[in-house]
Amino acid sequence: MKPINLGLICIIAVCMVISPVIADGGMRTVTDGRGISMEVPETIQRVVCIDDGLAEQVMYSLSVDSALVGVGSTCLQQDWFVNIPKVDGSNITMSGGMNTFSHLRPDIKQLPLVAQYNAPPNFEMIADLTPDVVIIRPSDCTFYTDESTMKQTIDTIESLGIPVFVTYGPNSQYGCTDCADISTIDAEVRLLGSLFGEEEKADALADFLQKERDIIQERTSAVPDDEKPSVLILGLSPQTRGAGSAADVWGTNTIEGVFLEDIVNAKNAYQQQGYFVKLNTEQILSMEPDVILLATDFGYHPVEELYSAPYYQDLAENMDAIKNKRVYSLPWLPCNCDKRVEYPIELMVMAKAAYPDRFSDINLYDWLISFYETVYHVDGTTADELISAQWMDWVRQ
């Protein structure tokens, strides 16, 4: 990590007006995920977020996203494409993938970028933006499990007289190997609602997200252990292949593993712990899963990659899940270090893949349209566009 320029910080602290600018003179007290209370303006007008989109998505849902003046993730300012070779010499090509907030607010590409992965935040830029509050989510990619850098960043921003509002996602508990809990997102949504004085809207959003996962859990909770399908969460990272392994898998202690076993009530084919566990072809073949789910892993991975890419032909020719076409792609989630408000989409894809009969009444396209309309308060046309932004167009088939 680069050293923080303390001299620059001192100059900024002396020269700038370090208290938030308050248009109406009113202040109120809010409490963040650390249990720390702070004073913020009655109406927050300027916000900097250092996260990968959760806060921005919630702000959009609460209709307060116009306050956003700076972002802390390159993944919110990028469009992605896919170019994957096939054994027949052609290519699988896709374009236009992005974070849902980036599609809803394309002008985010022009906002100042105050922080990014593997680099210290630009404290001078943050100070120049004079935010009423800085929102930080430690488990997202900017700080991902780097607790010391995160704490130093919070201390530095607070030394400038700027309130820092912290929310903790499912992967925020550093060093914890068995504590991933999706209900933390409910708490994050409600905390952000309290920050912006939009508690009623936030409660409605958190309740909706919980209801969606409860529906899945209720439909599958009675499945006996000997009838649960074996599901492998597979990541087709090109970096992993370059390092000599075939693919990555997600263990039982990951939030994806919790989704699979505690909510969908299927069996994780990889019954060990660990994120992005690198396995070779023989190890993957030995698990013999009934279903394969392709997760975001240094890029989006369509099912055709596992079917047709030359580097996966050993798997394609020897795995029943592939031969039986029981492979499904999870939505594109750029910078997927922690979950965001679209996590019920992952759950529903998992559920329909594992238990097609139990969820046959749910048309995934119609369900997605309704989901986006409810979460983001958008019309059907915009909801349809969000399906494409998350590269879920395969649900139209």
- Provide the CATH number for the domain around residue 131: 3.40.50.1980
Three-state SS across 71-91?
Answer: ECCHHHCCCEEEEEECCCCCE
Which residues is 327 bridged to in the sheet?
292
In the prediction, which pLDDT does 178 show?
55
* 14-26 average pLDDT score: 43
Domain-terminating residue out of 144, 173, 208: 208
Domain-terminating residue out of 173, 208, 243: 208
Q: Is residue 93 part of a domain?
A: no
User: pLDDT tens digit string along 337-377?
Assistant: 999 999 999 999 999 999 999 999 999 999 999 999 999 99
User: pLDDT tens digit string along 238-279?
Assistant: 999 999 999 999 999 999 999 999 999 999 999 999 989 999
Based on the domain organization, do 200 and 226 belong to the same domain?
A: no
First-to-last alpha carbon distance for the chain, in angstroms, is 47
CA 217 to chain centre: 21
Question: Domain range spanning residue 142?
Answer: 6-77+113-208
Q: Is residue 134 part of a domain?
A: yes
Based on the domain organization, do 203 and 280 belong to the same domain?
A: no
Based on the domain organization, do 137 and 64 belong to the same domain?
A: yes
Based on the domain organization, do 287 and 366 belong to the same domain?
A: yes
Confidence grade of residue 37 (pLDDT, cut at 50, 70, 90): very high
In the prediction, which pLDDT does 272 show?
95
Based on the domain organization, do 253 and 350 belong to the same domain?
A: yes
Based on the domain organization, do 258 and 304 belong to the same domain?
A: yes
In the prediction, which pLDDT does 132 show?
98
Task: Fill in the amino acid letter for 38.
Answer: M
Based on the domain organization, do 43 and 68 belong to the same domain?
A: yes
Average pLDDT in the chain: 91
Q: Is residue 61 part of a domain?
A: yes
* 94-110 average pLDDT score: 97
Lowest mean pLDDT among 58-62, 66-70, 180-184, 247-251: 180-184
Q: Is residue 107 part of a domain?
A: no
Distance of alpha carbon 328 from alpha carbon 232, whole angstroms: 11
Q: Is residue 82 part of a domain?
A: no
pLDDT value at 382 more than 70: yes
Based on the domain organization, do 202 and 242 belong to the same domain?
A: no
**Do residues 314 and 189 lie in contact, with contact meaning Cβ atoms separated by under 8 Å?**
no
* 212-227 average pLDDT score: 97
Based on the domain organization, do 180 and 265 belong to the same domain?
A: no
pLDDT value at 324 more than 90: yes
Based on the domain organization, do 25 and 170 belong to the same domain?
A: yes
* 58-70 average pLDDT score: 98
Q: Is residue 202 part of a domain?
A: yes
Domain-terminating residue out of 157, 181, 208: 208
Based on the domain organization, do 136 and 259 belong to the same domain?
A: no
Based on the domain organization, do 294 and 392 belong to the same domain?
A: yes
Based on the structure, what is the number of domains in the chain?
2
Beta carbons within 10 angstroms of residue 362's beta carbon: 14
Q: Is residue 314 part of a domain?
A: yes
Q: Is residue 13 part of a domain?
A: yes
Q: And the tokens for 335?
A: 């910078």
pLDDT over 90 percentage in the chain: 85
- In b/e form, how buried is each residue of 286-309, taking b as 16+ CB within 10 angstroms? ebebbbbbbbbbebbbbbbbbbbb
Confidence grade of residue 181 (pLDDT, cut at 50, 70, 90): confident
Which residues have C-beta within 8 Å of that of residue 330, sequence separation ≥ 6?
293, 294, 295, 296, 345, 346, 349, 350
